[in-house]
């Protein structure tokens, strides 16, 4: 049954080898990847859960699940395969769960989480996911990825307009370090922006002390599911699509663009296992994250990228255990600080996505349609725009770029 799962290309690295491979660049990438996950995506959970009437205990358990369990997966698989494999939770899937919580009990939604994990696992071990991925033209997939990543670049511009005192020094030091390679090797540009942003927050007294809380530990809550046909019909298939096609599609495309060969079948199986474990504490389904893996591969030696995944996983474990503490600290910083930090870190990844979409000269119209539909951010049938961007791009290319498909089949 597990014969479809890819075997690692290299032996397990020792602790000494890991520490030797870990440099300031990969440490910075892992840190920024974690900061991204612990800000905007984390806020989506709080927003959806609060509107759905979840208690603070249920929300804390959800946060523990998506960080701690997925952190363990990220560490184990990044180390074993020596590829940056950062796992998180499906953000569009989380948004999809919001309306369901308005009319379904949380226990029924959790049952749908379990069913989704089983379906993802079954599709993974069957090998169908890998065949599906191989049929998707990479320029169209990267057009969708560019559409998802574009908003992070735009956030930098918006932050310069709304909070220049914080944003401008961060942007200036980032490009200064980038323009001076000798200086940038000693102090990675994103870390420089992080330090300057933190300094400006301190100098301007912009840290909101009222949002800082005492040290607190998460208390996972084991949730009992209850069967509901309504929950199954509403959630299972859309959640599976968002994990395997939308989210994993982004993650795989990002890793391939960085020169890695991600184990697609293993990733799907791991998402099924992670989703089942997450469901036990009331957390949404696991996926391979696109933005975080883009941050992990945005700079540095390709062979050492996996150490950024290890850093991300370790920080995710800490966040899961100390969720209340990290949450209050993150919320105490100005929004512009996080917007600029994530946006600057994503610039190279965004550039790579555009080059992969339009640089080859193939499927360019499909890639453009995929980009536009994704950027429009319009949902249909409770499925996010990233999925529909892929569908629209594929259909348009199939109708108008048939020669490119013939070339791909050879």
110-141 tens-digit pLDDT: 999 999 999 999 998 888 877 776 677 888 88
- pLDDT, position 356: 84
**φ and ψ at 286, to 5 degrees?**
-80, 150
The neighbouring-strand residues paired with 88 are: 287
According to DSSP H, which parts of 180-263 are helical?
Answer: 181-186, 189-203, 229-231, 237-241, 248-257
pLDDT per position as a tens digit, 57-75: 888 889 999 999 999 999 9
- Model pLDDT, residue 282: 92
Which is nearest to 290 in space by CA: 146, 157, 114?
146
Half-sphere exposure of 231 (CA within 13 A, CB side): 22
Model confidence pTM above 0.95: no
Kindly give, in sequence order, each residue whose CB lies less than 8 Å from that of residue 147, ignoring residues fewer than 6 positions away.
Answer: 370, 371, 372, 373, 374, 375, 385, 386, 389
**Residue 87, beta-bridge partner list:** 288
Specify which of 29-33, 313-317, 360-364, 382-386 reaches the highest per-range mean pLDDT: 313-317
- Assess contact for 375 and 147: CB atoms under 8 A: yes
> What average pLDDT does the structure give for the chain?
86
Mean pLDDT throughout 133-156?
A: 82
pLDDT in tens, 202-216: 898 888 766 565 567
């Amino acid at each position: 049954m597990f014969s479809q799962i890819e075997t690692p290309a290299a032996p397990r690295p020792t602790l000494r080898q890991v520490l030797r491979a870990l440099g300031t660049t990969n440490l910075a990438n892992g840190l920024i990847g974690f900061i991204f996950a612990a800000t905007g995506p984390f806020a989506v959970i709080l927003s959806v859960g609060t509107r759905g009437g979840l208690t603070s205990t249920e929300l804390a358990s959800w946060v523990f699940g998506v960080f701690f369990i997925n952190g363990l997966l990220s560490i184990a698989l990044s180390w074993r395969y020596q590829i940056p494999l950062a796992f998180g939770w499906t953000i569009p899937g989380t948004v999809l769960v919001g309306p369901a919580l308005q009319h379904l009990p949380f226990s029924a939604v959790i049952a749908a989480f379990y069913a989704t994990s089983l379906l993802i696992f079954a599709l993974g071990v069957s090998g169908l996911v890998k065949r599906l991925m191989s049929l998707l033209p990479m320029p169209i997939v990267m057009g969708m990825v560019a559409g998802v990543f574009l908003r992070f670049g735009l956030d930098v511009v918006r932050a310069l307009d709304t909070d220049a005192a914080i944003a401008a020094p961060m942007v200036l030091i980032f490009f200064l370090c980038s323009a001076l390679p000798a200086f940038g090797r000693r102090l990675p540009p994103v870390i420089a922006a992080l330090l300057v942003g933190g300094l400006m927050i301190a100098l301007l007294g912009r840290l909101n002390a009222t949002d800082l809380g005492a040290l607190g530990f998460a208390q996972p809550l084991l949730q009992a599911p209850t069967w509901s046909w309504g929950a199954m019909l509403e959630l299972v298939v859309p959640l599976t699509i968002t994990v395997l096609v939308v989210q994993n599609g982004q993650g795989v495309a990002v890793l391939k663009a960085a020169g890695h060969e991600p184990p697609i079948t293993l990733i799907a199986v791991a998402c099924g296992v992670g989703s089942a474990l997450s469901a036990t504490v009331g957390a949404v389904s696991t996926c391979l994250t696109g933005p975080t893996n883009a941050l992990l591969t945005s700079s540095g030696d390709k062979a050492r990228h996996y150490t950024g995944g290890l850093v991300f996983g370790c920080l995710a474990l800490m966040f899961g255990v100390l969720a209340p503490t990290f949450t209050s600290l993150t919320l105490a910083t100005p929004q512009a600080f996080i917007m600029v930090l994530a946006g600057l870190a994503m610039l190279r990844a965004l550039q790579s996505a555009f080059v992969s979409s339009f640089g080859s000269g193939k499927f360019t119209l499909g890639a453009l349609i995929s980009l536009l539909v994704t950027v429009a951010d319009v949902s249909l049938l409770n499925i996010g725009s990233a999925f529909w961007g892929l569908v629209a791009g594929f259909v348009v290319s199939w109708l108008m770029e048939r020669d490119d498909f013939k070339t791909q089949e050879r």
